[in-house]
Structure 1
């Protein structure tokens, strides 16, 4: 060793010793920046709060380090302070609660964004208000142009279904199409009915119904696949409009803390099977390539296109980018309760000869499911009535037996009404229940009228029963059917209090805050095979997280109404902020 080198090393040691004596924190900074410059420093350190990780191995922490959009380390501050460098940003939570970015397990993303720009009928609770809103919208339209909107719920004004006659006088020169809030029924005015050629003599299509009055004349209401009779005449939405819809929807989702969505594509039975594929190529891939994706999306495709999906997965894999994931296939077993088209073992008490609709025949469902499952694709099927759920559970069991054991993660979307013993079958068969808590707010009163109080209270929205049977419960909104609002949905799952009620509906089925949060995070991720990247705040996963106004887990649990999203981070970058946090 040369004399000069020895002198340098002695001086360096003296500096380090002096720093260590005067400031241990300064020593750490000196060590990480100068002595070990190749060590990875954090881009962001989040500290001084309560972090709910949704990771069972370490559910709570107070600090977290992020680099390159992923989580480096989670724990107490002493465990991350060595990752603080000169370029590291610090987010002081000031005691606030952080949770993983919410994953909405069931949305119709482009449809939701389009609906935001159309006539809004959510919450309309009087016939007169319904009529006035359409009249107002029509007054600003050019003759011949289509008036589109949706979100109406006849149960809010006593149950009477709207008819074309309600709005014909105010829309004599414009065809009108207004979807019910569940997406399984729509109202056309007489101009639209004439445009579509819907007459008294028309035969109902398979999987759908044209609602008629006592004289056999169409009332304007179309159910499930019958809606396509009108929709094929509605002008095609342009690519530019669909792109704007995605961006609009994504911005809105971020304000609610949603960082990942599972876009299940088609809004109703009978919709074009091409539309989800067009959205993938024209909308999602465009947003990705142009740097406009704001949240992550897992896409499902119509069951009848499963061979096309299989080829896509073989050639490109399930992960097209950090933003776009390819999920599985989706189909429909039945309709909805609100439209009296959910399939039940017993008839609706307000329609004694109506058991609901099976909108896809059993052989078609079975043949596509067994083939797609054999090809390694995930399968999700919409089932709301108890008979529809039993039908799909039976089919899934048969397919699993025939194709053999594998990590298939079959899904049932909605699973709203379950016959005795069905909740246990979900757990036994490993079938995921993808449920939407806020739907119970709309169904609590109507279920009693349609099914009878005893039957409704025995089989409706059995969240705790499903969890007790070791079922994976994934929570979502079904937006635009219900608002994309995880905090509100979590509150609903915990308390189940419909509007105007002073108590919960079937309180034994309430679930804990812990289980509800998991349903919107780690369980939702597992339900779509995304858990390697998102769902928990664990080292190596994407740094998607939400800062809430609550000052801790207990505070959130005690006062759900006071909670709101203060900031949403995607990949460690702030994507939404309520007050510049």
Structure 2
């Protein structure tokens, strides 16, 4: 953005009454005063300041502190009006295209029963008669009175002529009507694919619910989105993330078409925030990607150097791979989406190509498998340099927890998963296994940096929801009293690190973003409260007033 247009953005804030500005025409430095600013020093310790200066041309921080205005007499000035200024927040694990698509599909997140989910789906279908498929996401049978998987019968009663496909909230199960099952050729005679399960009734008939790799049998029948639809969905996601104070996001598993769109948007200078995409290990183009080598964007808008590798399923659908059977299903131990030999081969291929290997592992068996392979495939020096990650690291055998720090494997974790899962995790795991579940405090005390995220659209993308969950171990109704497994709480500073400087570390970007130190990108947000001083139970209520990426205003809250 030119100096003129950047200054026009600042003037927009003045007109709205959000901020006040006095500008000197043509001056490159911009000084923000009258703020409660927070950042991190080289030791990742929180520090405060009331003035921040960034360079209008380069988009980088020049200085921060108290009384530094005198050193920049010609700077354009922004009056922060006493607002709190924080580093731009980083979501270390989300799904950008999925978020954008979810914003235009039926949202079942608040459904309190199967019948209500069906009613919402029927209403959506009626309001969108042009849709070839009725698609949605967000149902969670654990929150329903029956706590049982839904079936095709109720869907068939309201939608017979169009296929319906509704993903579970975690994306590891789906619910179809008979039309969709018919198009996919799924019948009583169908065989469960490796790493997947077709849920059946007492007579062996498919109920309409498919788990993990069985979902692919149906999803390949859904018409692929075209480029215009993809760009529209991505832009919707970008705008949503910026409104929440997210200036950078790690996109956990993208295909070749998605990467090509990102590259086109980057070339056209149409990426409004920073992206760190993980290439999907299941994409046929993987070997070609790896052969081409990592992409280091000098502006950090599109750095490509990581691969998302799929270990197991999710806990809610009993697809998480466990060392011992589920407490509430004693004959089941979950699913390995990638079998052990294949997992070894893909991890080795990724690591040998100089890419970061980010392994999805939720169950204790999947986490153990991933840790074993990180240990065997590289030396300690190589592992430390590689900054490899385990995505989720939700249920870990207590004896395996110290191995994260020992092996320099980063836990990439999503705090709101704990507050969402607290009502069913004990049923699935039993009391003993909870000692290694969602164990943020144990991992931090071992010396790990946690890459914080939300796993949107599985969870809501708001990072303050995650910070609140990490600090309180409570939901937004402040339940349970004292927090769920409260011994695993993080401090506010630790939680903020996980969504800023430590998330940047997990993308090899800690020298350019996450702390607002001089020389780093001027990625920052203004919020409506001092999160360091408010009561912890109020953290989730924080509202973002403005979001800047590289010193450029990208979002402004309007009443």
Provide TM-score, normalisation by structure 2: 0.90
Deviation at 1:144, TM superposition (A): 8.2
SS state at 2:303 partner: strand
8 Å CA contact 2:279, 2:308 repeated in 1:
yes
1:307 corresponds to which residue? Answer: 287
Deviation at 1:506, TM superposition (A): 0.4
Correspondence list, 1:157-556, <5 A: 157-158=144-145, 159-266=147-254, 276-281=255-260, 283-303=261-281, 305-313=285-293, 317-319=295-297, 321-401=299-379, 404=382, 407-452=385-430, 454-498=431-475, 501-551=480-530, 553-555=532-534
Deviation at 1:226, TM superposition (A): 0.8
Deviation at 1:359, TM superposition (A): 1.2
Cα distance change on mapping 1:467 and 1:551 into 2, 3 Å: closer
Deviation at 1:187, TM superposition (A): 0.5
Q: Distance in 2 between matches of 1:141 and 1:117?
A: 10
Determine if the alignment matches structure 1 residue 576 to structure 2 residue 531. no
Q: Distance in 1 between matches of 2:400 and 2:473?
A: 21
8 Å CA contact 1:70, 1:539 repeated in 2:
no
1:118 corresponds to which residue? Answer: 105
Counterpart of 1:78 (choices 67, 71, 77) is: 67
Deviation at 1:551, TM superposition (A): 3.8
SS state at 2:90 partner: strand
2:39 corresponds to which residue? Answer: 53
SS state at 2:138 partner: strand
8 Å CA contact 2:419, 2:474 repeated in 1:
yes
The CA deviation string for residues 249-274 of structure 1, in whole angstroms up to 9 with x for no partner, is: 010001110000001125xxxxxxxx
SS state at 2:378 partner: helix
Counterpart of 2:143 (choices 127, 143, 156) is: 156
The CA deviation string for residues 210-239 of structure 1, in whole angstroms up to 9 with x for no partner, is: 111111100011111111111111111111
Q: Distance in 2 between matches of 1:326 and 1:381?
A: 16
SS state at 2:494 partner: helix
The CA deviation string for residues 291-345 of structure 1, in whole angstroms up to 9 with x for no partner, is: 321111011112355432233336xx32275421113111111100011010111
Q: Distance in 1 between matches of 2:397 and 2:548?
A: 41
Q: Distance in 2 between matches of 1:59 and 1:556?
A: 20
SS state at 2:394 partner: coil
8 Å CA contact 2:321, 2:333 repeated in 1:
yes
SS state at 1:407 partner: helix
Deviation at 1:77, TM superposition (A): 4.1
1:16 corresponds to which residue? Answer: none
SS state at 1:446 partner: helix
Q: Distance in 1 between matches of 2:530 and 2:485?
A: 30
8 Å CA contact 1:386, 1:419 repeated in 2:
yes
Cα distance change on mapping 1:561 and 1:531 into 2, 3 Å: closer
Counterpart of 1:65 (choices 53, 70, 95) is: 53
8 Å CA contact 1:97, 1:553 repeated in 2:
no
8 Å CA contact 1:41, 1:84 repeated in 2:
no
8 Å CA contact 1:334, 1:358 repeated in 2:
yes
8 Å CA contact 1:253, 1:259 repeated in 2:
yes
Deviation at 1:411, TM superposition (A): 0.2
Q: Distance in 2 between matches of 1:419 and 1:405?
A: 21
Consecutive unaligned residues in structure 2, runs of 5 or more: 1-23
8 Å CA contact 1:293, 1:323 repeated in 2:
yes
Determine if the alignment matches structure 1 residue 91 to structure 2 residue 78. yes
SS state at 1:106 partner: strand
Deviation at 1:374, TM superposition (A): 2.3
8 Å CA contact 1:329, 1:379 repeated in 2:
yes
Q: Distance in 2 between matches of 1:406 and 1:465?
A: 20
Q: Distance in 1 between matches of 2:361 and 2:383?
A: 24
Deviation at 1:143, TM superposition (A): 8.4
Q: Distance in 2 between matches of 1:174 and 1:253?
A: 32
SS state at 2:405 partner: helix
Cα distance change on mapping 1:481 and 1:69 into 2, 3 Å: farther
SS state at 1:553 partner: coil
Paired residues, number: 528
Runs of 4+ displaced beyond 6 Å: none
8 Å CA contact 1:383, 1:415 repeated in 2:
yes
Q: Distance in 1 between matches of 2:329 and 2:384?
A: 43
Cα distance change on mapping 1:564 and 1:371 into 2, 3 Å: same
Q: Distance in 2 between matches of 1:130 and 1:557?
A: 33
2:6 corresponds to which residue? Answer: none
SS state at 1:537 partner: coil
Deviation at 1:483, TM superposition (A): 0.8
8 Å CA contact 2:177, 2:208 repeated in 1:
yes
The CA deviation string for residues 470-514 of structure 1, in whole angstroms up to 9 with x for no partner, is: 111011011110111111110000001135533311000000000
Consecutive unaligned residues in structure 1, runs of 5 or more: 1-32, 34-39, 267-275
Cα distance change on mapping 1:259 and 1:151 into 2, 3 Å: same
Q: Distance in 1 between matches of 2:531 and 2:173?
A: 43
Q: Distance in 1 between matches of 2:275 and 2:131?
A: 36
